[in-house]
């Protein structure tokens, strides 16, 4: 049995395949996921799993050099915005429009869909290198 915290085999495999600057998105329950992008659907019911729990777990395994969120998160979900900033302390955080965010998900290796119902609870993580 896997020893580390991340037990989901699809996410673990995806992270093991990522190279420098590859991207992975973590999304709320409502973000449209492009057809050409792998969907890892974790959503069980409203709020389960949460966006924050999923983000924290992915960050245990994935080296991240930068991240992208929407400027709408800051406006519509300020508490979530502050929590994301705290979790990503020391990682460059870029803010773009929700429309641009949806376009950028088309280049992601995958989108992890959570059960989150908080507006604009979405992030794109850009892989770094461990050396």
pLDDT by residue (tens digit) across 58-105? 999 999 999 999 999 999 999 999 999 999 999 999 999 999 999 999
- Which residue(s) pair with 18 in the sheet? none
Q: Is the pLDDT of residue 1 over 60?
A: no
Alpha helix positions (H), 9-116: 9-17, 51-61, 71-76, 78-87, 98-104
pLDDT above 70 covers a percentage of the chain that reads 98
Q: What is the pLDDT of residue 2?
A: 57
Q: What is the pLDDT of residue 3?
A: 56
- SS3 category, 128: coil
Active-site entry in 20, 39, 56, 107:
20
Q: Is the pLDDT of residue 6 over 90?
A: no
CB of 66 within 8 A of CB of 93?
yes
State pTM to two decimals.
0.95
Q: Is the pLDDT of residue 43 over 60?
A: yes
Please give the domain boundaries of the chain with CATH numbers for all domains. 21-34+61-123 (3.40.1650.10)
Q: What is the pLDDT of residue 5?
A: 80
Residue 92, both tokens: 């460059």
Strand order in 123-127's β-sheet?
Answer: 38-41, 110-113, 23-27, 123-127, 64-70, 92-96
pLDDT by residue (tens digit) across 104-113? 999 999 999 9
- CB crowding 93-110: b at 16 or more within 10 Å, else e: eeebebeebbeebeebbb
Clarify whether 98 is annotated catalytic: no
């Amino acid at each position: 049995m896997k020893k580390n915290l991340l037990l989901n085999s699809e996410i673990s495999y995806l992270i093991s395949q990522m190279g420098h600057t590859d991207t992975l998105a973590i999304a709320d329950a409502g973000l449209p996921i492009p057809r050409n992008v792998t969907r890892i659907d974790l959503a069980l019911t409203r709020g389960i799993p949460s966006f924050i729990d999923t983000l924290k777990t992915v960050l245990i395994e994935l080296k991240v050099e930068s991240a992208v969120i929407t400027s709408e998160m800051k406006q519509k979900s300020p508490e979530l915005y502050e929590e994301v900033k705290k979790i990503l302390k020391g990682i460059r955080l870029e803010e773009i429009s929700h429309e641009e965010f949806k376009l950028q998900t088309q280049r992601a290796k995958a989108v992890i869909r959570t059960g989150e119902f908080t507006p604009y609870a979405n992030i794109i993580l850009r892989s770094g290198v461990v050396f």
